[in-house]
Structures are given as structure tokens and as C-alpha cells.
Amino acid sequence: MSDVELSIVVPCYNEAPGMEAFWQRLTRAVAPLGLAWEAVFVNDGSSDATLEAISRLDPGTGAVQVIDFSRNFGKEAAITAGLDHARGAAVIIIDADLQHPPEIIPEMVRLWRQGTEVVLCKRQSRDSDSPLRAFLSGLFYRLSSRLFEVKIPRDVGDFRLLDRAVVDALSRLRENQRFMKGLFAWIGFRTETIEFKVEQRAHGSSKFHFWKLLNFAVDGITSFTTVPLRLWFYVGMALSLLAIGYGFIIMLGALLFGNRVPGYPSIVALVTFLGGLQLIGIGILGEYVGRTYKEVKFRPLYVIRKASLKEPSHARPGADGQELS
């Protein structure tokens, strides 16, 4: 496997129950393509038997790389590690829960062979999501289209194919706070989009709950735009002008009608309101300062406990259906 043509990167976190079913469907989809291929499994600190389940897989016609993290570093780090270790001329990122159907991989490869450098997989609908999650996702995409320096494709996740040139470009982006959707969009390249129907989760439940999704959105906003900082400058300037105007009104009232003591409740309300705005502004500023603090420490994106490679156990079928030695 010195010349790998296709790498399949599979980030894994507690995926043991469905690993065998995923592997069967993946090999059935990829083996007939006649490519020299590999699967790169990244075990992101799973607390179940995911690592053991991966180790029991029969490589078949493709090699199997296993990258075992020392702890849970998150999906963004797992994807990065998979891309770092992928050897293929093209790389596909896919989840192991079978919500991403492996059966559309041949279509992705076909577009890549025609010269497409990035093949995006767009979900047809969000029927499988809760109403709240669908609403918040739509809100995030609307905000990102107006605020971000690059446009994030709507309803497109990590399921995609990347040409080797794209993977090499991504490898040069080593920021610690990673928002992969933004990084994928930032590098550009020739892109095609195909749609797929999200299948029911084969096992378990989503690892992304409300607060995690909210933090994910904050990471995206603070990674790819400084609009919140600029917006707060304009809010502060507007409030300052209003305060100056209000001061003139008070001064004029004192000159015309004398100094009246009543008004204590309104003063308390105004001071509380302005204090809240200041705290929000400090929080936004602190978010950016915190991200800078994390970046300047230059910690590695992930730590690998162990890495292994199993070569194919069977000859792969050629394009004409014959066995290749």
C-alpha cells in the first residue's frame, strides 16, 4: 500500500455497537471501485470498547490505520489527526454512526476523477433533528452568511471528499481552536455538492447537546469574524451619544425648573442597564483574549497513545472485476 489512492477518515467516539455494521457497508461501497484504499480510524478517547471493535475488523481489500488518542480531544481534533495521517490522493471524512451513507462514496469518487477538488455532501432535510435544533442550526447559518469572512455552505457537515492538494492546504492551518467547517470553506478550491438523505442513527445518541452546540457556534463566530467586537464599539458610541444628549436634557431642566430630587428609580435602572452592557462587552472581549491566550501556548492539537496499521488481507478487485495481485 505504498500508493494509496483513497483514504477514508472515520472519527470515533463510543461507536463500538455499530462498528461491524459500518465496516460491512463501507467495504461493500468502496471495494468495487478498484482503488488502493485505506480506512483511518481515530479513536477519540472512547470510554467503551470502540478500540477493540476496530482491532477486530478484517481489513479485506483496504488497509486499516488506527490512531488512538490519549484522551478525548473532540471531533475537530480527531478529523485533523485523520487528515494528518491519511495517505490517499483523495480523502473522505465520514461518521461511523451510518447517518452518512457509505453508498454515495462512488459518486463522490466519480466527481473527483472528473477534476473536482472538493465534493460536499448536503443533507436533503433536517427531519431527523428536533425542532429546536433545526431552528438553531438555521439561525446559525443565517448569521454566518452575514458575519463570516467566508460563506459556510448550509446543511453541509463533515461528510465530504478532499483532494490531496486540499488536505495539504489544511495541514498548514494549525490553529488550536479549530472550527473545521470554517477552515474547509476558507481554503476554497473547485467544489461540487451532492445531496443525501440522513439515515436514522444506527446506535446511541448524538454527542452534540444544546450547550455543546452553542459553544460550537461561539467558536465559529469568534474564529471567523471580529464583527462582535466592532458591533460593540458602535453600541458603546451610540450609548455615549445618548448619554450626552440625556445630560443636556437634565442640565436644561435644572436651569428652567430647578434641581428636583425625584428620579432615583430611573437612575438605578439606567446604571444597571449600562452596567449589564459593560459586562457583556467585557465578556465578548474576554472571549477573543482567551482564544489568543490558548493559541500562544502552542500546545499540540492532540496526543496519540498508539498508532497501528494493518495491510489488506485480500486482493482488491480491479475495474474489470478481476483480482489484482
Could you tell me the CATH number of the domain that includes residue 73? 3.90.550.10
* Residues of the chain under the 50 pLDDT cut: 1, 319-325
Q: Do 49 and 174 share a domain, yes or no?
A: yes
Give a yes or no: residue 218 inside a domain. no
pLDDT at 82: 93
Q: Do 51 and 169 share a domain, yes or no?
A: yes
Q: Give the structural domain span for 163.
A: 6-209+300-310
Give a yes or no: residue 143 inside a domain. yes
Q: Do 36 and 167 share a domain, yes or no?
A: yes
Contact yes or no for 1/36 (Cβ under 8 A): yes
Q: Do 168 and 234 share a domain, yes or no?
A: no
pLDDT at 149: 67
pLDDT at 227: 66
Q: Do 16 and 134 share a domain, yes or no?
A: yes
pLDDT at 320: 47
Give a yes or no: residue 315 inside a domain. no
Give a yes or no: residue 272 inside a domain. yes
Name the domain count of the chain.
2
Give a yes or no: residue 44 inside a domain. yes
Global pTM exceeds 0.85? no
Cell matching residue 77 = 481534533
Give a yes or no: residue 215 inside a domain. no
pLDDT at 163: 93
Q: CB-side exposure of 199: number of CA atoms within 13 Å?
A: 14
Q: Do 65 and 117 share a domain, yes or no?
A: yes
